[in-house]
Chains A and B, each alone.
Chain A
């Protein structure tokens, strides 16, 4: 992390006084024991107490806090529910945490325009809960949807199990209110589809809290499909299951979701919550199909025959809604189930071209032997988005480091086969130092220049995403010699 600035830490009391003029005592957390709550996020191997935590309850307050922080050269780490798996909300010793927990109101449910306007601290699932009685839902459904906030979803461009068909957060939001570090409040988009000028919605989504603080989000809601059914397909190996995924998509079928679980994950899950998964297979696919009843039935037949050709050992189709939900219970409980069979686990998030699935799964199994650490796979096979869980015990000296090294090797493998470091969890601090595996210095510099357009002094969430920080003034320079830019020849072509 960037080296803490002692002068800023020394000025803590002055900052507290300045903030006390803006917010009530109840909104300002300064004592050690209460700060402890905020010392980490979903990447709990990393911990750091912040200087203080402030919990604004209006956009105006956010604007004033950011303005003060930038005037007092203080770094700001925005935080939703703190479920980031990449350390996106990890505090800084010389920075404050800006918690958005009080932004918990649903402001407008607008069925005619098929959208909902919410404050950024509203949870993902609360949106669907608010509209489900009218037969609507919000499509992106990350596993943490019960806890994670929509503002955090925007900052990480969260996905979930249905993004193959319904897209990521960036495809499902229409408008944002954001506050820049200088206190400017911007409203982008709205209840309409296309915004004017540059696609700022697009660049802010997935920017990991480095460009602005999201205070309000307008999301698109979709009508519930008429019929939804899920299939459990058992396979004799991970490779055969992976081939089947490719075959389904090759035949023009886009299921609502295709999830894959390997033997270790199946057994742990079945033991934990009895979802009815077949135990006589090495690999399991959960395929969900939605649409009109007749179409879904037809697709089930098609997928069944593809699975049979791909040597499936079992095919089970949900007959009732309760059964479909039970199929998913297992998948959604997979992480805690793994938590029961191992003291600790480390969840990775690389994405690869789908056709590389068999190769990468086989290579990961080899690596698992080399590192002597077990690995469980539960992931979004349709998107090629892997979530290998590396099982380790932090109480055994050196095992955490081994797990991290294993994880790094997996991500390098993803990049090697044409994939990327992260599909939906974000870079954060976790994958920051691997960015140069994917990007050249020049690629990163252009991203940093965009950062400078929003936050020229780098006060928002520094230390995340980018391996090296540059001063904006340096990045912005055009190298002039003798009063003139270097003079290249006239291009001749």
Chain B
């Protein structure tokens, strides 16, 4: 009996799922396998990979819409867009390095199933904000579609959004349609040196409230920044507050002046070199800034009201071996911690997050830790039950990525 399936058509996926359901088997669903480290370890009977359902089906730059098969490599999508001066505005992160999956870019299907985004999140949204339509096969082996090729559409429920971020637990997608946008002509970053977290957060807040259309606001404490510092006369443990502006050359130059006026003179501010800033934003996006500590097995991502960021960093700063940085103007905190602390620290962090409202997702850990604390924060019973009913409405036999999210 085959254990690995690589379907080449929707019909094969329908057949596979009907068979899986009738035989009481279970499936691990992956695009190109770039994000298999997310969620609980699954022990399923078979694996289905969508790598052969690959290719761009429809791309007309003037329509700002692209239609692609789910297994299309994200790199291929981004290259096609780039050739037309367009991009995915939600700046999807790459998880290849975090999950050690040969640094591969993953697939466009996986990008949506994981609802990826990047530093531009607070301005441009996440994958969920760019999905327009989807074709999929549910856990009964029935193909269905939702949405379409147009930017504005309220015809029926927004199933595409519900599937986005579902990590392959609701359906196997067979096509995605998404919005694309003109890429900025240029990008310019500033860094403010040596701010304490409170001062950095205050500055990021002020800038996010400004009309200068800033597309990146991140803060790296001194323990993380040293690899990226190339300025004379500063210490190794100097923190970096990063500010990114994107747009036309003229617009960026104008806004840069306006932004400089908002930064109090007492802070030393440097304009970053193109290449260095590019590299740093990529590291922030992909959570690879933690790699300077070598093996950092436990990583979580908090999405919080930005004003709560320092309350949470204050809470974790006393723990040895814990590192963190802020992205998305303080709306995100990425935290890495040693395994020995995880099972006590994570519930504490989640309690703190719950006080302010927010989410705290475990991105990386050994299964033992994942089992103890869960991938997601504990949720109220009514919400747990609703998530379970939604899962059943797509996948009554619980055959698709069973247990991956710990929701059922």
A residues near B (Cβ < 8 Å) are 110-115, 135-136, 156-157, 159, 163-164, 167-168, 170-171, 175, 180, 184-186, 188, 190-200, 202-203, 205-207, 223-226, 246, 249-250, 252-254, 291-295, 298, 351-355, 380, 383-385, 418-427, 431, 435, 438-440, 442-447, 449-454, 465, 476, 478, 484-491, 493
Contact = CB atoms under 8 A, between A and B. Distances in A.
Contact of B250 (A136, A294, A442): A294
Contacts of B332: 193
A295 B248 contact: yes
Given A186-B386, A192-B358, A453-B386, 5 more contacts: A193-B122, A198-B387, A250-B61, A446-B144, A493-B8
B359 A192 contact: yes
Contact of A487 (B22, B162, B255, B304): B22
B166 interface: yes
B182 A418 contact: no
Contacts of B303: 192-195
Nearest to B145: A443
A229 to B, nearest CB: 14
Contact of B62 (A188, A249, A352, A439): A249
Interface in B10-43: 12, 15-16, 18-19, 21-22
B5 A493 contact: yes
B307 A112 contact: yes
Contacts of B148: 418-420, 438
13 contacts: A115-B305, A163-B152, A184-B386, A195-B359, A197-B379, A202-B164, A206-B157, A252-B85, A294-B250, A353-B149, A353-B150, A422-B153, A446-B159
Q: Classify chain B's interface size.
A: 35 or more
B49 to A, nearest CB: 12
Residue from A203, A419, A450, A493 having most chain B Cβ neighbours under 10 A: A493
Nearest to B182: A252
Interface in B108-138: 115, 117, 121-122, 125-126, 128-129, 138
Given A196-B379, A485-B21, A418 B60 contact: no
B364 to A, nearest CB: 16
A206 B22 contact: no
Given A197-B407, A292-B251, A186 B383 contact: yes
A447 B165 CA distance: 18
A2 B307 CA distance: 49
A159 B154 CA distance: 10
A291 B377 CA distance: 39
Given A352-B150, A446-B138, A292 B144 contact: no
B343 interface: no
A111 to B, nearest CB: 7
A199 B157 contact: no
A192 B154 contact: no
B75 interface: no
Contact of A425 (B16, B154, B159, B356): B154
Nearest to B169: A198
Contacts of B12: 491, 493
Nearest to A168: B152
Nearest to B304: A192
A193 B126 contact: yes
B158 interface: yes
A428 to B, nearest CB: 10
Contacts of B85: 252
B129 A171 contact: yes
Interface stretch (B228-236, B316-324, B390-398): B390-398
Contacts of B142: 442, 445-446
B181 interface: yes
B211 A199 contact: no
Given A202-B162, A351-B151, A196 B361 contact: yes
B306 interface: yes
Contacts of B369: none
A171 B1 CA distance: 45
A205 B151 CA distance: 16
B16 A491 contact: yes
Given A193-B328, A419-B148, A435 B155 contact: yes
A482 B117 CA distance: 48
A294 B128 CA distance: 32
A419 B248 contact: no
Contacts of A206: 154, 157-158
B96 interface: no
Contacts of A486: 18, 22
A191 B161 contact: no
Nearest to A479: B140
Residue from A164, A170, A193, A431 having most chain B Cβ neighbours under 10 A: A193
B153 A202 contact: no
Given A485-B21, A490-B19, A353 B258 contact: no
A203 B393 contact: no
Given A355-B62, A420-B155, A427-B154, A202 B161 contact: yes
A307 B261 CA distance: 36
A353 B251 contact: no
B305 A353 contact: no
B389 interface: yes
Given A252-B85, A419-B148, A478 B140 contact: yes
Contacts of B86: 252
- In the A-B complex, the 8 residue pairs with the smallest Cβ-Cβ separation, listed nearest first, are A202-B161, A190-B357, A252-B182, A295-B251, A191-B305, A453-B389, A485-B22, A194-B303
Nearest to B303: A194
B340 interface: no
Contact of B155 (A111, A226, A421, A445): A421
Interface in B283-337: 303-307, 328, 331-332
B272 interface: no
Contacts of B59: none
Contacts of A205: 158, 161
Given A292-B251, A384-B151, A435 B156 contact: yes
Contacts of A427: 154-156
Contacts of A383: 150-152
A491 B193 CA distance: 60
A203 to B, nearest CB: 4
Nearest to B171: A446
Contact of A170 (B115, B161, B212, B255): B161
Nearest to A249: B62
A175 B331 CA distance: 14
A200 B129 CA distance: 14
A463 to B, nearest CB: 15
Contacts of B83: none
Given A197-B405, A199-B165, A493-B12, A420 B153 contact: yes
A253 B64 CA distance: 11
A377 B16 CA distance: 48
Contacts of A419: 148-150
A292 B248 CA distance: 11
Given A193-B126, A195-B359, A421-B155, A453 B162 contact: no
A223 B213 CA distance: 9
A203 B162 contact: yes
A438 B360 CA distance: 39
A399 B397 CA distance: 52
Interface in B364-408: 376-377, 379-380, 382-383, 386-387, 389-394, 396-397, 405, 407
A180 B140 CA distance: 26
Nearest to A227: B211
A478 B396 CA distance: 8
B143 interface: yes
B162 A199 contact: yes
A385 B152 contact: yes
A30 B153 CA distance: 37
B65 to A, nearest CB: 7
Contact of B149 (A171, A418, A422, A451): A418
A170 B179 CA distance: 15
Residue from B121, B149, B396 having most chain A Cβ neighbours under 10 A: B149
B131 to A, nearest CB: 9
